[in-house]
Structure 1
Amino acid sequence: MPDKQFTESFASLMEELAALEHRRWAHWQRYVHEKGERRPDGSVVLPAELVARWERLIKTPYEELTNEEKDSDREQVQKYLPILKRWLQRVRGENEGNA
């Protein structure tokens, strides 16, 4: 695959992944907002136990997470794999066509 074509293909991959990341983030934000209490000024107050849990997770390296916590991360990564697989197949196919 010529460099220009690869760069364009990679840019397309980046946009598709960015769109998925935005959907993932929006889903998470809906979840966080639903767990909180909306105040008249528009702010959201979260329960202390959720904040404590999330702060613990923020400080915990992946290797030290429980299997259940790792499964949650794996579930999120699985959403990216079909996009990456399609892109790799396309790039491989185009490279084989040039061989």
Structure 2
Amino acid sequence: MTSRSSIRAILESDALLERLAAVEHERWAHWQRYVHEQCLLAEDGSLVIPRDLVERWSTQIATPYADLSEEEQESDRDQVRRYLPLIVKAVTGGEAPE
């Protein structure tokens, strides 16, 4: 069994941090592609977010996780599932995927 101090060292390691940061960048880039696809391209090259999406996303931003719909919570869980295998493998001594 791995000790708490060993687990803490693993979770604070630079290697795990970099792997998780890569997953975070992938997640962020995926979201930005989605947002850009939903927007309207203005003549000056700026993007305009449609009103219904502004309202929806503003509501989601202001809503605590526990108060989100089951569908919205599942979307957040899907994002965590991208990170979780790296953390589990790091803590259990398995090799984390690159």
Match of 1:70 in 2: 73
Q: Residue 43 of structure 2: which of 33, 40, 44 is its match? A: 40
Figure out how many residues of one structure are paired with residues of the other and give that number: 88
The structural deviation recorded for 1:40 is: 2.5
What residue in structure 2 maps to residue 14 of structure 1?
A: 17
Matched, 1:29 2:36: no
Secondary structure, in 3 states, of the residue corresponding to 1:40? coil
Larger radius of gyration: 1
Q: State the alpha-carbon separation in 2 of the partners of residues 90 and 41 from structure 1.
A: 52
Paired AA for residue 26 in structure 2: R
Larger relative contact order (CA 8 Å, sep ≥ 6): 1
Q: Structure 1: 5+ residue runs without aligned partners?
A: 92-99
Once superposed, what is the RMSD of the aligned Cα atoms? 2.1
Q: Percent identity?
A: 48
Aligned 1:51-90 pairs, distance under 5 A? 51-90=54-93
Cross-structure match for 1:95: none
- Runs of 5+ consecutive residues of structure 2 not aligned to the other structure: none
Instruction: State the shift of 1:90 in Å.
Output: 1.8
